[in-house]
Amino acid sequence: MRKPIHFVTADEAVQAVKSGDHVHLSSVASAPKVLIEALCRRGESGEIRNVRIHHLHTEGEAPYTDPKFEGIFFHQAFFVGANVRKSVQSGYSDYIPVLLSETQKLYRCGALPCDVAMIQVCPPDKHGFVSLGTSVDATLAAIECAKTVIAVVNPHVPRAWGQAMIPMDMIDIFVEDDTPLMPAHFSEPDEVETAIGRHCAALIEDGACLQMGIGAIPNAVLAQLGGHRHLGIHTEMFADGVLSLVEKGVIDGSNKGIDKGKLVSTFLMGSQKCYDFIDDNPMVAMMDVGYTNDPYMIAKNPKTTAINSALQVDLTGQVCADSLGTKFYSGTGGQVDFVYGASLSEGGKAIIAMPSCTKKGESKISPVLLQGAGVVTSRAHIHWFVTEYGAVDLYGKSLQERAKLVISVAHPDHREMLEKAAYERFGPHYMHFSL
C-alpha cells in the first residue's frame, strides 16, 4: 500500500536549487512549466547565481534564457529548439554537441553533473508507481543521478508504459499542477513536401520498421503508407501521423526483431489525441534514449528505414543538419544514431530527405557546405538522398558519381551552377563521366 504524498508549492520546491547547481528539465510536452516559472522568480530575487540548465527540446517558453538572467542562469542545451534558438545564436545560451543516444550517458558517466532534476509525472497508481509520460529520453538518467528530484504530479500526464514507469521513492519533492500538456501543431504538407513523401514511401517495404522525425515531411511520408502491411515503429519520437496507420492495421509491429508488436519511442510531440493514445496503452513502450537510439538495438529490427532531414547537402554527400553556417539551428539529435543503425539492419535503408530549395529559392544542395557548417551525417555514412525531384542511392558511389546523382535531384534552376562547380572541382574529365 502506497504512502500518501506530501505536496509543497512550486516556490517551496525550487528552494532545493543552490548557486552553481546543474538542473535538468524534462523535455518536449513534459517541461515542468510551474517549476520553471518558480525557478525564474527565485532567480529574480537574487538568491541564486550560476545555475546551469540542461534539457532536450522543450515546448513552450524558456524564460530562463532571457538576457536579464545573465549570470543567474546559463542554459546549455542538448538540442537547440525554436524557443531557445535566438538565445543560443546570440551567446546568452549554449549548445552541448552530443549524439541523442549519449545524452543519458552524459549524466551516467559523470561527464555532466545533475544536482536537481525537475520532471512531470502522472498521479501514482495503487502500487506506488508514476509515469514520466511523454518524456523518458535522458530524464530517467537525470533522475537516477540527481541529488534531488522534484516532480510535478499532473493528471494530464499520460500513464505511459515501458521505462517511463518509476517508483515514487525515486522522487524527493512533490508539487501539484493540472496544466494541460503543451500540444504540438504541424502544418499540412505542401506540394514539395508531398512529392518528397511520395519518393520516400516508394522506398519503404512491407514489414519495414520506421524511424522518422517531426514536421511536414514525416507526415507526408506517413500519409502515403495506407497500402503497406506489417510496418513497425522503433524511433526516438512519433506524433499523430502514426495513429491512423495503427487504427488501419498498417502498423502492427509483427515483423520486428525486438519488441514485437510494440511502438517504441523515447519522447512524443503531438496533439492531445497523441497523448491520449499512449495513456495506459501496453502497445506503446516509452524507453530510455540509450535504448531507442542505440544503433545496435536499432539494427536488430529487419528493414529498419530511417528518414531524417537536412539543412544543406554538398556534392559529395556531406549532410549539415544542425547549423546554418556558424549559426546553430537545431542539433545532432538522433540522425547519426539512426542512419548508422538502419545501415546495419538487414534490408535497412537510411534516408536523408529535404526540399531542393529554401523558401527563398536558394539551393539547399551546394558545391560545398557554408563556412562554419557542421557535418552531422558524413559522406561515408549517407545512403539514400531524396528531394522532390527523386531519390538517389549514394552508398558505394565515388565522389564524381555522387556529384552526378545529387545534381540529378537538385532544382532544375540550379543544376547548371552545380554542374559548373563539379567541373571546376573534378576537372574536365568529369564532363565525360557517365553513370
Give residue 433's pLDDT. 60
Tens digits of residue pLDDT in 268-298:
999 999 999 999 999 999 999 999 999 999 9
Mean pLDDT of the chain: 96
Joined grid coordinates for residue 147: 541529488
Contact 401, 434 (CB under 8 A): no
What is the predicted pLDDT for the residue at 186? 80
Percentage of the chain exceeding pLDDT 70: 98
pTM of the model: 0.96
In 3-state terms, what secondary structure has residue 158? coil
Per-residue pLDDT, 3: 64
What is the reported pLDDT for 350? 98
Are 340 and 377 in contact by the 8 Å Cβ rule? The answer is no
pLDDT at 390 over 60: yes
- pLDDT by residue (tens digit) across 316-359? 999 999 999 999 999 999 999 999 999 999 999 999 999 999 99
Smallest Cα–Cα separation from 390: which of 407, 402, 376, 378?
407
**What confidence score (pLDDT) does residue 2 get?**
60
Nearest to 383 by CA among 319, 298, 302, 288: 319
Predicted local distance difference test score (pLDDT) of residue 430? 84
Report the greatest alpha carbon distance in the chain. 79
- pLDDT greater than 80 at residue 306: yes
CB 261 within 8 A of CB 235: no
Per residue in 203-258, pLDDT (tens digit) is: 999 999 999 877 789 889 999 999 999 999 999 999 999 999 999 999 999 999 99
* Catalytic residue ranges: 236
Q: What is the pLDDT of residue 313?
A: 98
Residue 379, pLDDT score: 97
In the 8-state DSSP scheme, what is residue 96?
-
pLDDT at 4 over 80: no
What is the mean predicted confidence (pLDDT) over 75-102? 97
**pLDDT of residue 431 exceeding 70:** no
Pair type for strands 94-95 and 73-77: parallel
Instruction: Please return the burial class of 247, using the count of CB atoms within 10 Å of its CB with bins 0-12, 13-18 and 19+.
Output: exposed
